[in-house]
């Protein structure tokens, strides 16, 4: 659930063309086209049917927002209402026509969806990633603007490191975000897709998956001829792995040793530094 957005998009991007000034028109549904920057990939049929029924009974209370593009109108915000209106049999719909650049379109489309509660973890991650990449935000900037913690932003973005076929499984609800994060702890990344299928087939919960990942990681260690370690070291590694959300190894050599914490991208490193309450030096 994305909190901290009650002030609306204008509070996040003051001065941008996101206010309600514009020209409201009745426009034929066939002249409207979807927003190419729409972060939402899944539109639940049942929810659309419910919205369509509401539109039949009460009409559309809030007009959708669009910009003129050639002979068509590109939807900026309100694609669900447009889809539901078609299901309801409407021929035209109230549209607030605005002038907006493609960057502003992307901002509004993403932020409008982040204010909703039903984005999937992958859709939410892609929305965060787009804002960071396209608007040159840092994770700290984004967390502050959205009222979320930096680890929350980082943990979602980290899901994008999953193979495409596994991201699809998280997106459609076959796997939870917790499953996805745990799968990223596999040392042998080529095993992720195979283990994901096993999770679904055997209906493993996150704790059971954590145990499986630990077992597989220990096999990887044996295959690389890592000397056997005492139970204390293995238990401590498990605690650190849960705490940091990534693979952690403790290596002892006589009277000294070292702790290795794996990270998989700059964003993942930032997430770990956040947990350690450290700032990255350039």
- At residue 22, does pLDDT exceed 80? no
Q: What pLDDT sits at residue 229?
A: 58
- At residue 62, does pLDDT exceed 50? yes
Q: Which of residues 242 and 10 earns the better pLDDT score?
A: 242
| Inter-CA distances, 141 with 17, 36, 130, 138, Å | 20, 25, 13, 5
For the segment 124-141, what is each residue's pLDDT rounded down to a tens digit? 898 888 888 877 778 888
| Mean pLDDT computed over 248-263 | 81
For the segment 262-278, what is each residue's pLDDT rounded down to a tens digit? 877 777 788 888 888 77
Task: Name the β-bridge partners of 72.
Answer: 69
**Strand order through the sheet with 32-33:** 23-28, 92-97, 64-69, 72-77, 32-33
Report the share of the chain in percent with pLDDT over 70.
81
Of 91-95, 184-188, 259-263, which range is least confident? 259-263
Q: Which of residues 232 and 2 earns the better pLDDT score?
A: 232
- At residue 12, does pLDDT exceed 90? no
Q: What pLDDT sits at residue 228?
A: 57
Alpha-helical (H) ranges within 19-163 are 45-58, 79-87, 102-114, 121-135, 139-146, 150-158
Of 20-29, 106-115, 217-226, which range is least confident? 217-226
User: Cα(98)–Cα(65) distance, rounded to whole angstroms?
Assistant: 7
Tell me phi and psi for residue 177, to 5 degrees.
-60, -40
User: Cα(154)–Cα(139) distance, rounded to whole angstroms?
Assistant: 7
Tell me phi and psi for residue 102, to 5 degrees.
-65, -35
| Inter-CA distances, 160 with 199, 214, 264, 271, 272, Å | 19, 22, 11, 14, 17
For the segment 75-117, what is each residue's pLDDT rounded down to a tens digit? 888 888 888 888 888 888 889 888 887 777 777 777 766 766 5
Q: What is the pLDDT of the chain when averaged over all its residues? A: 79
- At residue 10, does pLDDT exceed 70? no
For the segment 34-60, what is each residue's pLDDT rounded down to a tens digit? 877 666 666 667 778 888 888 888 888
Q: What pLDDT sits at residue 192?
A: 94
Q: Which of residues 158 and 228 earns the better pLDDT score?
A: 158
Report the share of the chain in percent with pLDDT over 90.
19
Inter-axis angle of helices 231-244 and 206-223, nearest 10:
130
User: Cα(175)–Cα(121) distance, rounded to whole angstroms?
Assistant: 10
Residue in the block written with tokens 């984004």: 142
| Inter-CA distances, 249 with 218, 236, 273, Å | 11, 9, 17
Q: What pLDDT sits at residue 1?
A: 32
Annotated catalytic residue within 79, 123, 237, 274: 79
Q: Are 28 and 92 in contact (CB under 8 A)?
A: yes
Q: What pLDDT sits at residue 222?
A: 58
Q: What pLDDT sits at residue 41?
A: 61
Q: How many residues belong to the chain?
A: 282
Q: What is the pTM of this model?
A: 0.56
Q: What phi-psi label fits residue 229: left (phi over 0), alpha (psi between -120 and 50 degrees) or beta?
A: beta
Is 79 an annotated catalytic residue?
Answer: yes
- At residue 69, does pLDDT exceed 60? yes
Q: What pLDDT sits at residue 180?
A: 94
Q: Which of residues 212 and 107 earns the better pLDDT score?
A: 212
Q: Are 72 and 100 in contact (CB under 8 A)?
A: no
For the segment 150-171, what is each residue's pLDDT rounded down to a tens digit? 888 889 999 999 999 999 999 8
Q: What pLDDT sits at residue 276?
A: 83
């Amino acid at each position: 659930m994305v909190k901290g957005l009650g002030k609306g998009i204008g509070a996040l991007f003051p001065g941008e063309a996101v206010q309600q000034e514009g020209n409201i028109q009745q426009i034929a549904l066939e002249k409207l086209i979807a927003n190419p920057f729409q972060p939402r990939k899944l539109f639940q049929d049942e929810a659309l049917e419910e919205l369509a029924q509401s539109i039949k009974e009460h009409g559309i209370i809030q007009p959708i927002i669009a910009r003129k593009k050639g002979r068509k109108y590109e939807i900026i915000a309100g694609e669900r209402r447009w889809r539901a209106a078609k299901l309801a049999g409407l021929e035209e719909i109230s549209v607030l026509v605005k002038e907006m650049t493609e960057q502003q379109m992307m901002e509004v489309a993403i932020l409008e969806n982040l204010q909703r509660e039903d984005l999937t973890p992958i859709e939410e991650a892609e929305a965060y990633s787009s804002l960071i990449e396209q608007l040159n935000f840092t994770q700290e900037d984004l967390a502050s603007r959205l009222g979320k913690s930096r680890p929350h932003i980082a943990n979602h973005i980290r899901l994008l490191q999953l193979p495409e076929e596994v991201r699809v499984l998280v997106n459609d609800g076959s796997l939870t975000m917790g499953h996805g994060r745990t799968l990223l702890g596999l040392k042998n990344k080529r095993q992720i897709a195979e283990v994901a299928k096993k999770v679904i087939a055997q209906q493993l919960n996150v704790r059971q998956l954590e145990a499986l990942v630990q077992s597989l990681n220990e096999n990887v260690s044996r295959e690389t001829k890592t000397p056997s370690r005492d139970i204390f070291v293995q238990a401590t590694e498990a605690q650190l792995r849960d705490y940091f959300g990534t693979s952690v190894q403790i290596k002892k050599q006589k009277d000294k040793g070292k702790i290795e914490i794996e990270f998989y991208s700059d964003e993942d490193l930032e997430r770990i530094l956040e947990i350690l309450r450290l700032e990255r030096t350039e």
